[in-house]
Amino acid sequence: MLHPELDQFVELAGRHDFAVALSSNLVRMPEPGWFLRPNLYMVSISMSGFSDETYAINHRGGSFSRVTANVKRLAESIGTTGLPTKLELRFHVYRYNANELPEARAFCRDWGIRFQPYYGSFGSVEGFRTFFDTGTSEQAQRFRDYVREHVFIERVARNSLAGRSIQVCPQEQVLTIDWDGSVLTCCALWEEPGGRPRIWEADLAKYAAQRTQNEVCHQCMSKGWAADINTFVGPEEALGVHETSGSERQNKPLESDEDVDSAGHG
Protein backbone atom coordinates (compact mmCIF):
# COMPACT_ATOMS: atom_id res chain seq x y z
CA MET A 1 0.00 0.00 0.00
CA LEU A 2 3.02 2.28 0.35
CA HIS A 3 4.18 2.55 -3.27
CA PRO A 4 3.30 5.96 -4.76
CA GLU A 5 2.42 4.32 -8.11
CA LEU A 6 0.40 1.41 -6.77
CA ASP A 7 -2.70 2.58 -8.63
CA GLN A 8 -0.78 2.53 -11.92
CA PHE A 9 0.55 -0.97 -11.24
CA VAL A 10 -2.97 -2.29 -10.72
CA GLU A 11 -4.24 -0.50 -13.84
CA LEU A 12 -1.33 -1.78 -15.94
CA ALA A 13 -2.02 -5.35 -14.85
CA GLY A 14 -5.68 -4.88 -15.75
CA ARG A 15 -4.85 -3.66 -19.26
CA HIS A 16 -3.03 -6.96 -19.79
CA ASP A 17 -5.95 -8.99 -18.35
CA PHE A 18 -4.21 -9.85 -15.08
CA ALA A 19 -6.12 -10.07 -11.82
CA VAL A 20 -4.29 -8.58 -8.84
CA ALA A 21 -4.12 -9.59 -5.18
CA LEU A 22 -2.59 -7.25 -2.62
CA SER A 23 -1.18 -8.31 0.73
CA SER A 24 -0.87 -5.74 3.51
CA ASN A 25 -1.02 -5.32 7.27
CA LEU A 26 -3.01 -2.08 6.70
CA VAL A 27 -0.95 -0.26 9.30
CA ARG A 28 -1.04 2.54 6.77
CA MET A 29 -3.58 2.84 3.99
CA PRO A 30 -4.16 5.54 1.37
CA GLU A 31 -7.65 6.55 0.33
CA PRO A 32 -9.18 3.32 -1.06
CA GLY A 33 -10.54 5.00 -4.18
CA TRP A 34 -6.97 5.65 -5.26
CA PHE A 35 -6.09 1.96 -5.74
CA LEU A 36 -9.41 0.08 -6.01
CA ARG A 37 -9.94 -1.19 -9.55
CA PRO A 38 -12.19 -3.88 -11.13
CA ASN A 39 -9.23 -6.27 -11.61
CA LEU A 40 -8.23 -6.05 -7.92
CA TYR A 41 -9.88 -9.27 -6.82
CA MET A 42 -8.41 -9.63 -3.33
CA VAL A 43 -6.88 -7.63 -0.51
CA SER A 44 -5.36 -9.98 2.05
CA ILE A 45 -4.84 -8.42 5.47
CA SER A 46 -2.26 -9.89 7.83
CA MET A 47 -2.88 -9.67 11.57
CA SER A 48 -1.45 -11.46 14.62
CA GLY A 49 -3.46 -10.04 17.48
CA PHE A 50 -6.95 -8.71 18.12
CA SER A 51 -6.28 -6.31 20.97
CA ASP A 52 -3.79 -3.54 21.64
CA GLU A 53 -1.78 -5.85 23.91
CA THR A 54 -1.44 -8.83 21.58
CA TYR A 55 -1.17 -6.81 18.36
CA ALA A 56 1.88 -4.96 19.72
CA ILE A 57 3.87 -8.19 20.21
CA ASN A 58 4.57 -8.74 16.50
CA HIS A 59 3.62 -5.32 15.09
CA ARG A 60 5.94 -2.98 16.93
CA GLY A 61 4.83 0.62 16.65
CA GLY A 62 1.56 -0.39 15.04
CA SER A 63 -1.88 0.61 16.26
CA PHE A 64 -4.60 -2.02 16.49
CA SER A 65 -7.35 0.59 16.53
CA ARG A 66 -6.00 2.28 13.41
CA VAL A 67 -5.70 -1.04 11.57
CA THR A 68 -9.28 -2.08 12.34
CA ALA A 69 -10.47 1.41 11.34
CA ASN A 70 -8.63 0.99 8.03
CA VAL A 71 -10.21 -2.43 7.49
CA LYS A 72 -13.68 -1.00 8.05
CA ARG A 73 -12.98 1.97 5.79
CA LEU A 74 -11.78 -0.33 3.02
CA ALA A 75 -14.81 -2.60 3.41
CA GLU A 76 -17.16 0.39 3.22
CA SER A 77 -15.42 1.73 0.10
CA ILE A 78 -15.71 -1.62 -1.68
CA GLY A 79 -19.38 -1.79 -0.79
CA THR A 80 -20.01 1.76 -2.00
CA THR A 81 -18.27 1.27 -5.35
CA GLY A 82 -19.81 -2.12 -6.00
CA LEU A 83 -16.46 -3.54 -7.09
CA PRO A 84 -15.90 -7.33 -6.87
CA THR A 85 -12.85 -6.98 -4.62
CA LYS A 86 -12.87 -9.46 -1.74
CA LEU A 87 -11.31 -8.94 1.67
CA GLU A 88 -9.52 -11.66 3.57
CA LEU A 89 -8.15 -11.54 7.10
CA ARG A 90 -5.21 -13.88 7.59
CA PHE A 91 -5.04 -14.23 11.34
CA HIS A 92 -1.71 -15.63 12.52
CA VAL A 93 -2.43 -17.81 15.54
CA TYR A 94 0.11 -17.92 18.38
CA ARG A 95 -0.17 -19.13 21.94
CA TYR A 96 -0.69 -15.58 23.16
CA ASN A 97 -3.65 -14.74 20.88
CA ALA A 98 -5.51 -18.04 20.42
CA ASN A 99 -8.18 -16.91 22.89
CA GLU A 100 -9.00 -13.96 20.58
CA LEU A 101 -10.08 -16.14 17.66
CA PRO A 102 -13.85 -15.94 18.37
CA GLU A 103 -13.73 -12.14 18.52
CA ALA A 104 -11.71 -11.90 15.29
CA ARG A 105 -14.10 -14.29 13.56
CA ALA A 106 -17.14 -12.26 14.68
CA PHE A 107 -15.53 -9.07 13.37
CA CYS A 108 -15.02 -10.68 9.96
CA ARG A 109 -18.56 -12.02 9.89
CA ASP A 110 -19.98 -8.58 10.66
CA TRP A 111 -17.97 -6.87 7.92
CA GLY A 112 -18.26 -9.49 5.18
CA ILE A 113 -14.59 -10.49 5.34
CA ARG A 114 -13.25 -13.98 4.72
CA PHE A 115 -11.67 -15.18 7.95
CA GLN A 116 -8.63 -17.40 7.45
CA PRO A 117 -6.83 -18.24 10.69
CA TYR A 118 -3.67 -20.30 10.56
CA TYR A 119 -0.80 -21.02 12.89
CA GLY A 120 1.96 -18.43 12.82
CA SER A 121 5.31 -19.89 11.90
CA PHE A 122 8.96 -18.82 12.15
CA GLY A 123 8.45 -15.84 9.88
CA SER A 124 10.89 -16.61 7.08
CA VAL A 125 13.41 -19.03 5.62
CA GLU A 126 15.98 -17.29 7.79
CA GLY A 127 13.77 -17.98 10.80
CA PHE A 128 13.71 -21.71 10.05
CA ARG A 129 17.48 -21.72 9.58
CA THR A 130 18.07 -19.90 12.87
CA PHE A 131 15.76 -22.20 14.81
CA PHE A 132 17.09 -25.49 13.45
CA ASP A 133 20.76 -24.56 13.12
CA THR A 134 23.16 -24.84 16.04
CA GLY A 135 24.28 -21.22 16.16
CA THR A 136 25.06 -20.03 19.68
CA SER A 137 24.78 -16.28 19.26
CA GLU A 138 22.69 -14.36 21.77
CA GLN A 139 20.34 -13.20 19.00
CA ALA A 140 19.76 -16.77 17.79
CA GLN A 141 19.05 -17.97 21.31
CA ARG A 142 16.58 -15.15 21.91
CA PHE A 143 14.78 -16.10 18.71
CA ARG A 144 14.57 -19.77 19.73
CA ASP A 145 13.26 -18.77 23.15
CA TYR A 146 10.59 -16.60 21.50
CA VAL A 147 9.53 -19.44 19.18
CA ARG A 148 9.31 -21.98 22.00
CA GLU A 149 7.19 -19.58 24.06
CA HIS A 150 4.76 -18.42 21.38
CA VAL A 151 4.72 -20.72 18.34
CA PHE A 152 2.82 -24.01 17.98
CA ILE A 153 6.01 -25.69 16.77
CA GLU A 154 4.59 -29.19 16.50
CA ARG A 155 1.94 -27.92 14.04
CA VAL A 156 3.92 -25.54 11.81
CA ALA A 157 7.15 -27.56 11.52
CA ARG A 158 5.91 -31.12 10.96
CA ASN A 159 7.90 -31.61 7.75
CA SER A 160 11.01 -29.93 9.11
CA LEU A 161 10.98 -32.02 12.27
CA ALA A 162 10.57 -35.17 10.16
CA GLY A 163 13.13 -34.10 7.54
CA ARG A 164 10.70 -34.43 4.64
CA SER A 165 12.18 -32.90 1.52
CA ILE A 166 10.35 -31.71 -1.61
CA GLN A 167 11.62 -31.55 -5.18
CA VAL A 168 9.52 -28.66 -6.48
CA CYS A 169 8.71 -25.58 -4.42
CA PRO A 170 5.14 -24.21 -4.71
CA GLN A 171 6.64 -20.71 -4.85
CA GLU A 172 7.63 -21.46 -8.44
CA GLN A 173 3.95 -21.24 -9.40
CA VAL A 174 3.65 -17.65 -8.16
CA LEU A 175 5.28 -14.44 -9.37
CA THR A 176 5.92 -12.39 -6.24
CA ILE A 177 6.57 -8.67 -6.68
CA ASP A 178 7.69 -6.50 -3.78
CA TRP A 179 6.45 -2.96 -3.07
CA ASP A 180 9.27 -1.42 -5.14
CA GLY A 181 8.71 -3.58 -8.22
CA SER A 182 11.39 -6.13 -7.35
CA VAL A 183 10.85 -9.70 -8.52
CA LEU A 184 11.38 -11.97 -5.53
CA THR A 185 12.58 -15.55 -5.34
CA CYS A 186 10.22 -16.27 -2.46
CA CYS A 187 7.76 -14.38 -0.29
CA ALA A 188 9.38 -15.93 2.81
CA LEU A 189 12.97 -14.96 2.03
CA TRP A 190 14.42 -11.70 3.31
CA GLU A 191 17.85 -11.87 1.70
CA GLU A 192 17.65 -12.53 -2.04
CA PRO A 193 20.29 -15.03 -3.24
CA GLY A 194 20.35 -13.63 -6.77
CA GLY A 195 19.68 -9.92 -6.41
CA ARG A 196 16.36 -8.11 -6.85
CA PRO A 197 15.69 -7.30 -10.54
CA ARG A 198 12.82 -4.92 -11.22
CA ILE A 199 9.80 -6.38 -13.01
CA TRP A 200 10.22 -3.97 -15.92
CA GLU A 201 13.89 -4.92 -16.35
CA ALA A 202 13.87 -8.65 -15.59
CA ASP A 203 14.18 -11.44 -18.14
CA LEU A 204 11.28 -13.45 -16.73
CA ALA A 205 12.07 -16.59 -18.72
CA LYS A 206 15.62 -16.62 -17.34
CA TYR A 207 14.28 -15.78 -13.89
CA ALA A 208 11.88 -18.73 -13.96
CA ALA A 209 14.56 -21.15 -15.15
CA GLN A 210 17.08 -20.13 -12.50
CA ARG A 211 14.75 -19.17 -9.66
CA THR A 212 15.49 -22.06 -7.29
CA GLN A 213 18.99 -22.86 -8.56
CA ASN A 214 20.80 -21.55 -5.51
CA GLU A 215 22.10 -22.89 -2.20
CA VAL A 216 19.37 -21.26 -0.09
CA CYS A 217 16.51 -22.87 -2.05
CA HIS A 218 18.25 -26.25 -2.14
CA GLN A 219 18.69 -26.19 1.63
CA CYS A 220 15.13 -25.03 2.22
CA MET A 221 13.60 -27.79 0.05
CA SER A 222 15.90 -30.55 1.30
CA LYS A 223 15.30 -29.90 5.00
CA GLY A 224 11.53 -29.70 4.84
CA TRP A 225 11.36 -25.96 5.48
CA ALA A 226 9.78 -25.25 2.10
CA ALA A 227 7.08 -27.85 2.72
CA ASP A 228 6.17 -26.18 6.02
CA ILE A 229 6.43 -22.60 4.73
CA ASN A 230 4.00 -23.39 1.92
CA THR A 231 1.52 -25.30 4.10
CA PHE A 232 -1.07 -23.28 6.00
CA VAL A 233 -2.26 -25.20 9.04
CA GLY A 234 -5.57 -23.98 10.40
CA PRO A 235 -6.54 -24.18 14.07
CA GLU A 236 -10.17 -25.15 13.51
CA GLU A 237 -9.97 -28.70 14.83
CA ALA A 238 -7.75 -27.93 17.80
CA LEU A 239 -9.35 -24.69 18.92
CA GLY A 240 -12.92 -25.03 17.72
CA VAL A 241 -12.80 -21.99 15.42
CA HIS A 242 -13.84 -22.47 11.81
CA GLU A 243 -12.97 -20.46 8.75
CA THR A 244 -15.81 -18.35 7.43
CA SER A 245 -16.36 -16.84 4.02
CA GLY A 246 -18.02 -13.78 5.52
CA SER A 247 -21.71 -12.97 5.51
CA GLU A 248 -23.30 -9.92 4.00
CA ARG A 249 -21.73 -6.84 5.53
CA GLN A 250 -23.94 -5.02 7.97
CA ASN A 251 -24.43 -1.28 7.61
CA LYS A 252 -22.41 -0.20 10.59
CA PRO A 253 -21.15 3.36 11.10
CA LEU A 254 -17.44 3.88 10.67
CA GLU A 255 -15.47 4.62 13.78
CA SER A 256 -13.52 7.85 13.61
CA ASP A 257 -9.75 7.48 13.57
CA GLU A 258 -9.04 11.17 14.06
CA ASP A 259 -7.69 10.56 17.57
CA VAL A 260 -5.66 7.46 16.69
CA ASP A 261 -1.90 7.82 16.97
CA SER A 262 0.12 7.57 13.79
CA ALA A 263 1.16 4.01 13.13
CA GLY A 264 4.72 2.85 12.68
CA HIS A 265 6.08 -0.21 10.99
CA GLY A 266 4.35 -3.56 11.42
- Residue 127: is its pLDDT beyond 70? yes
Region 30-36: what's the mean pLDDT?
Answer: 93
How confident is the model at residue 254, as a pLDDT?
29
Rounded to whole angstroms, how far apart are CA atoms 30 and 28? 7
pLDDT-based confidence at 62, cuts 50/70/90? confident
Domains and CATH numbers, the chain: 1-120+232-254 (3.20.20.70)
Q: Residue 240 pLDDT > 70, yes or no?
A: no
The pLDDT value recorded for residue 248 is 39
pLDDT value for 260: 28
Q: Return all residues near 38 (Cβ < 8 A) that are at least 6 apart.
A: 14, 83, 84
pLDDT at 236: 59
Instruction: Write out pLDDT tens, residues 45-54.
Output: 999 999 999 9
Q: What is the pLDDT of residue 37?
A: 94
Confidence of residue 69 (pLDDT cuts 50, 70, 90): very high
Measured distance CA(46)–CA(81) in Å, rounded: 24
User: Is residue 164's pLDDT more than 50?
Assistant: yes
Q: In what order do the strands lie in the sheet with 86-93?
A: 20-24, 40-47, 86-93, 114-119
Which pLDDT score, from 0 to 100, does residue 151 have? Answer: 96
pTM, two decimals, is: 0.79
Indicate whether 29 pLDDT > 60: yes
pLDDT classification of 114: cutoffs 50, 70, 90: very high
Percentage of residues in the chain having pLDDT higher than 70: 88
